[in-house]
A and B are shown apart, each in its own frame.
Chain A
Amino acid sequence: MRVVLLSFVAALLSSHCSIILGIEDRDYSDAISTAIANLPKMTYSALSKDGHDPEIQAQFNDMINGVIKRTGDDWTMYGKLSLDLQKERIKLMEDAGFFNFISLLLNHDYRPMKWNASFLIHVMLLGGVDDEKIAEFNRLLVDVLFDKGIVTRLIKLSLSEDEND
């Protein structure tokens, strides 16, 4: 009887968690979609010191907090979890359009956006040189980066003639 009760409670908790996660996934996905939609507006004139637009700046802040920071924080957490969960996480990021977002950043006309994309990936890959679990997580990420053509784009950027913006 106790076993049945416990399993029932566990099932309830699990469904609750999945609901919460589902909500969070949707938030993450929405945040990425919004950021992608707002990207064209984030230009030099809108964001630079001289002529910044408060509305666009707010959108930029949303992008940083809702996508960039969140991706980084989650990445840190998932790096310590099992391989299956790591794969799920990368799949979720892919479904949410994260890699599409990175590609758009790398192709953005405003050069700091490229910097942001490079920096984000750079930061995600830096940790865990000696930690095989994190290293494998990084390898999974690199696999996807290859699939999405992001590596090629990064190499091109790294070999570009332009030095600074």
Chain B
Amino acid sequence: MRTIEPFYPGPKSEGAPLVNAKDEALRTVVNIVYYTRAGTLVNRLIKDGARDAVCSAARRGNEKEIFLALESASRLNFQVQKEGTGLALKDQENIMFMVSLCNATENFCSHYNCVGDPNDRLDINIDDNTVEEDLSCEGVDKETCIERAAQNLAKAQLLSDEDDQMKTFIVNEWYRVPGNRDDWKLNIVMLGLSAAHIRADNGELTGEQDPNSPLKLMKVFDLLGRDDCCKISDDMLDHLYDRKDVVRYIVDTLYDHNPNFLYELKEKEVERRRKEDELIEEQKSFAAEIVDLFFERSKPKDGEDYSYIYEGFVKCLWALADKPGSSLLISDVMDMLEKNHDKDELTKNFPDIIKAERQIVEYMVLTLQKDFGVVEFSEKLRELQNNKACPPIAIYQDHDATHDTQVLVDQLLAIKKKNFELFRYAVFNVLLPQSRSPDETFGIISYALSCREWNDSCLHKLAERNDVMHMIIFDLFKRDGKNPPITTKERLKEELDQVLYGASVTTFDPRAVIKNVKYFIFIILIVALILMYKSWQNQKRLEEEKKMREAEEARKKEKKAKRKKRQ
């Protein structure tokens, strides 16, 4: 413990330095923060402005005091977090607090040029005759303070993309910290990678705009490869793979820097690619099964051309392959199709198919608008979306329609993505009945829906509407949530049956009735029964009437006979 001499102003204190009560108070507050018990006093400290004081001390103080301030700040934040005193770490004020501290530390580091030996401790030479003794504070050193600050930053998740400067600074400081704190190092390295990523986006990694950037990345890379410092875990690699662009940059730029790390990285990547390939193969196989299923189920009858069925399904596959993220590639679709179809013919048909989904949805929206009116339709959609917690998702940004239509398209697409039932409702209850050729479309689809079996005839009819078939299968492929994913033929069959059999639309369209033999026979039987019943009732009534008439005639004859007898 220090002694307290000399005090100012002492007797005849000539040449004494200026008294800076504010600075001394700042130092004292930092110490008070350090020794304040967790709990309500922390709130009181914050309320009284201790954070500002600590930040101010960090900015104004000498080296030791900056780090004592950082240490105090860390304690303050830690206590706030520990006690849950209502000031969450995500809280804006707290973020600003830590940002201020980091800025203060950065200023300090740049001022004292403390870059170099990672083990160097602060060498304090304070040229201030008011403080003559050793002010070193045991246990508080630069690394500790940076670590604490970094911990708080990472915990607070306050390193948003805008804070790349701070992240870069922290990672640069952090990499030099010796020790075994792998967990924190990983966090900070990730933050550094994020910062590097941002810099890469800004074109700062070319080495021209910011010649230090590659060096910084090298430091990060160095940290990743240091056996004594940071063992790379699977989790870490997973994180790294999330930032492939950064990793690739590092690998390309610093290939020779750490062969071991690179080797490990490549091993992991090979394994990962192998898994991806397996998945793609699996999906290809599944797609091929679907193709088989489709043709198997839509075998043409004698003399019937089934090319339109084929075309409909091609459209489905094509649209699926066109979707980003789909493992079913267009080339795979082509391969599958070429087995059974002429390539030139396919190529000729494809250009108009790629945007089929968009066209259909737009058409649906226009039809719905016509049916309900724009405002009403929007309200209805919004209501449905609210009920189903289905936020609108903008998909087709390059849409050139009017704004209102675009909004509706997005809404409907969002519904389709999130709520298949609602989409189905839109397709079968609104779109198709209001189709451009209602007689044809309605008859075909309603007939298909009223079928109790998904037979070849239905497929033919459905396939006449390629867009409908496309939508059904496309959504079956995409649907998720409660229903298990479709991975087998059987599942696809089940789902198709569910969609078609379970639809709510029924029809009395005469063509559908006539074409559905079972339904027709059933109706005829019922009618025949009714007629037989009516006929039986009628016959019975006639017999009764006849009997009554005979009885009446008999009575009349009897009366007549009696009258003759009397005469």
Q: Show the binding face of B for A, using Cβ within 8 Å.
A: 1-5, 7-14, 18-22, 24-29, 31-32, 34-37, 41, 44-45, 48-50, 52-53, 56-57, 135, 137-140
Contacts and interface: CB of A to CB of B under 8 A. Distances in A.
B48 A155 contact: yes
Contacts of A160: 22, 25
B35 A68 contact: no
Contact of B139 (A129, A143, A163, A165): A129
A134 to B, nearest CB: 8
Interface of A: 47-49, 52, 57, 60-61, 64, 68-69, 72-73, 75-76, 79, 111-112, 114-116, 118-123, 125-130, 134-135, 138-139, 141-143, 145-146, 151-152, 154-160, 162-165
B20 A142 contact: no
A142 B32 contact: yes
Contact of A151 (B21, B26, B32, B52): B32
B52 A159 contact: yes
A13 B167 CA distance: 65
Contacts of B19: 111-112, 115, 164-165
Contact of A164 (B13, B18, B28): B18
Given A64-B7, A116-B8, A152-B48, A163 B20 contact: yes
B21 A142 contact: no
Contacts of B9: 47-48, 60, 112
B37 A142 contact: yes
A142 B36 contact: yes
A122 B20 contact: no
A128 B140 CA distance: 12
A143 B42 CA distance: 11
Q: Which of A145, A156, A159 has the most CB of B within 10 A?
A: A159
Given A139-B37, A164-B20, A165-B19, A122 B1 contact: no
A112 B4 CA distance: 15
Q: Is the interface of A mostly helix, strand, loop or mixed?
A: helix
A60 B8 CA distance: 10
Contact of B27 (A79, A118, A128): A118
Given A154-B28, A163-B22, 11 more contacts: A57-B11, A68-B7, A69-B5, A118-B27, A126-B2, A129-B139, A154-B25, A155-B25, A155-B49, A159-B52, A165-B18
Q: Which of B5, B35, B48 has the most CB of A within 10 A?
A: B35
B545 to A, nearest CB: 112
B4 A120 contact: yes
Contacts of B52: 159
A152 B48 CA distance: 6
Given A151-B32, A155-B50, A76 B1 contact: yes
21 contacts: A48-B9, A49-B13, A52-B12, A69-B4, A69-B5, A115-B8, A115-B24, A118-B21, A118-B28, A119-B7, A121-B31, A122-B31, A123-B3, A125-B35, A134-B1, A154-B25, A154-B32, A158-B26, A158-B29, A164-B19, A165-B18
